[in-house]
Copies of this chain bind each other. A is one copy, B any other.
Amino acid sequence: MWQLYQFPLCPFSRKVRLLLGEKGVGYDLVRESPWLRRDEFIDMNPAGQTPVMTDPERGLKPLMDSTAICEYLEETVEKAAMLNGSAAYRAETRRLVVWFDTHFFHDITAPLLHERMIKRIFTKETPDSKALREAMKAAVRHLDYTDYLLDHSNWMAGSTMSMADLAAAAQISVADYLGGIDWKNHEQTAKWYRGLKSRPSFRPLLSERMEGIAPPKHYDDVDF
């Protein structure tokens, strides 16, 4: 059985979990708080980041980095392929995965995690309200962009569900948990997100809680 090292609000672990869920691959969760920089974890992954995926029974080297893990799963598990279509379609899918993993994360998810999670549970500092405002303004810009993408097609990369949707949903779900998303005026993205939230792959994520941090009421409501 796969073991996935993660914490409930890690967006990159969520991306991998959504893919595992869609593919029907079983796994156990191993709680890892990367901000503690546990020696054994750093020895396993010098980047010090979740997710890491291991399968002790199979004696594989640990898989690290969410993109490398997702490509591995795409190559080894045929069911529910999320990198589909022509080479150009796959390039657009991968561009969007990087967009959400890098730009959305940097502008929105990372500052929200820092201000509302790390400061609450680890450094015990007061959140910086300017940084929070900036993140929430960036979220409006980013959701304008996803609205634009979804104006042109049913899914982020085009006519079929892909890794781009899972990467987007993973980041958005963490930002939403941390109160960073104002759904007003983003009906296209909200409609797409309602569809994703109602998928069986999404349910385990929505029911999980990070200790000491409560999500807003609408967070796990499929008809928010």
Contact = CB atoms under 8 A, between A and B. Distances in A.
Q: Which of A65, A75, A99, A145 has the most CB of B within 10 A?
A: A65
Contacts of A47: 99, 103
Interface in A141-181: 145
Contacts of A94: 65, 67-68, 71
A76 interface: yes
Interface residues of A, number: 25
Interface stretch (A19-27, A56-64, A129-137): A56-64
If over half of A's interface residues share one DSSP class (helix, strand or loop), that class is named, otherwise mixed; here it is: helix
B90 A145 contact: no
A99 B47 CA distance: 8
Contact of A68 (B68, B69, B76, B95): B95
A115 interface: no
Nearest to A63: B91
A164 to B, nearest CB: 11
A88 B68 contact: no
A181 B71 CA distance: 32
A102 B63 CA distance: 17
Given A65-B95, A95-B65, A88 B72 contact: yes
Q: Which of A61, A90, A94 has the most CB of B within 10 A?
A: A94
A46 interface: yes
Interface of A: 46-47, 60-61, 63-65, 67-69, 71-72, 75-76, 87-88, 90-92, 94-95, 98-99, 103, 145
